[in-house]
Amino acid sequence: MQLLKDRILRDGYALGNDILLVDSFINHQVDPEMMRQIGMEFARIFGDKGVTKVATIAVSGVSPALMTALELGVPMLIMKKEVSRILSQELLQTPVHSYTRGNDYLLTAKRCFLEPGDRVLFIDDFLANGEAAMGAVRIVESSGATLVGIGSVIEKAFQPGREKLRTLGYEPVALARIGRLDEGVIEFEEN
Amino acid sequence: MQLLKDRILRDGYALGNDILLVDSFINHQVDPEMMRQIGMEFARIFGDKGVTKVATIAVSGVSPALMTALELGVPMLIMKKEVSRILSQELLQTPVHSYTRGNDYLLTAKRCFLEPGDRVLFIDDFLANGEAAMGAVRIVESSGATLVGIGSVIEKAFQPGREKLRTLGYEPVALARIGRLDEGVIEFEEN
């Protein structure tokens, strides 16, 4: 998505060879019009998958997921990050390790919002180590719903997220794939 | 906002006299089209205030704030809840007590995204005890920006949030004001 790549080059910043700072338009301050374009692009890509629900993870996934769900005309489900296990038959929970924050959390969703007939599209802001996405896969699969697609706004293609998802049979779609980062340097990789 | 009140009566549920469960369309599963209508309503109400930025608090404020910012054509700023103080001149932080979760957190925003010339509209899903909104007021005021409005999707009018904000000179706007809750009973109060 050229609009997004241009914006990353203009307003993003690479902190060393690992961290891409996009907090002026993606995940702290958010550009709503850019998010609308991102939602339209995901809706175009996944429009023929019979999506009944868009799922995402709090906090940064909410903006692109909401705009995608708006375009597709389906509800959005926000999976939350809980610090401790909540004993309830009503909840689906799975442990996830965050490399960004260096901690662990329990990805959590209410069971009643993921039904066996649902066709779920998972949307998040970043695909990097893939731990969050793998957690989302486990939550959706354990509910009996069908995961019909995985979309990331930005993929750090030099990290193993895509490979991990492939081992489960999923091929994620990213709107901008980063091939290399270095202090002040951002290089894209073709899809 | 009649559409919202009708939806609360249809899909909301009062757990005792304090908790209003709206997690099937507002804050866990989200109805994007209803959020778009909410954004349009806030944009109509605050459209003459010269808003340059919409601010909100993660997680549940993001959906209504994003749609409001989209309608107003301005960026959205997501204030985060951090568990411990981060020592940085770049950040604005203020302690907030959560009655809902029974814990304390540090409401946090990057200083560079709130400038003295900014005219900020604060949007959140709930106004209840007002602690989160009061924290947002402190963050915005400490940045030198001007807080031009406070909008809540739902107000629990039997709790002291509105009174607290009034003591600082702010009159919040709520799209649905709940006057009384009881197990299975939801009563609105007129604006």
Interface of A with B in 98-157 (CB under 8 A): 109-110, 113
Closest-CA residue to B21 (of A110, A63, A117): A110
Domain annotation covers residue B99: yes
At residue A98, the pLDDT reads 93
- Mean pLDDT of each 10-residue bin along chain B, 191 residues long: 98 95 97 98 98 98 98 98 87 94 94 97 98 98 98 98 98 98 95 70
At residue A52, the pLDDT reads 98
At residue B126, the pLDDT reads 98
Domain annotation covers residue B88: yes
At residue A101, the pLDDT reads 84
Domain annotation covers residue B7: no
Domain annotation covers residue B145: yes
Please tell me the distance in Å from B183's CA to the nearest CA on chain A: 20
**CATH number of the domain within which B61 lies:** 3.40.50.2020
CB contact under 8 A, B73 and A33: yes
Which residues of chain B are within 8 Å of residue A62 when distances are taken between CB atoms?
59, 62-63, 66
Total-model pTM: 0.98
Yes or no: say if B90 and A93 are a contact pair by the CB < 8 Å rule.
no
At residue A87, the pLDDT reads 80
Give the residue carrying structure tokens 């794939």: A177
- Residue B137 preceded by cis peptide, ω within 30: no
State the total domains in chain B.
1
Please tell me the distance in Å from A140's CA to the nearest CA on chain B: 14
Domain annotation covers residue B74: yes
DSSP notation for A32-47? HHHHHHHHHHHHHHHT
At residue A86, the pLDDT reads 81
CB contact under 8 A, A32 and B63: no
Q: Which residues of chain A have pLDDT under 50?
A: none
Mutation choice for B interface testing from A63, A83, A100, A121 by most B CBs within 10 A = A63
Range of the domain at B165: 32-176
CB contact under 8 A, B75 and A35: no
CA distances from B51 to A54, B44, B78, B118, B190 (A): 30, 12, 16, 8, 27
Domain annotation covers residue B98: yes
CA A81 to chain centre: 14
How many helices (H) and strands (E) in chain B? Answer: 5, 11
CA B137 to chain centre: 11
Q: Which residue of A has its CA nearest to B75?
A: A31
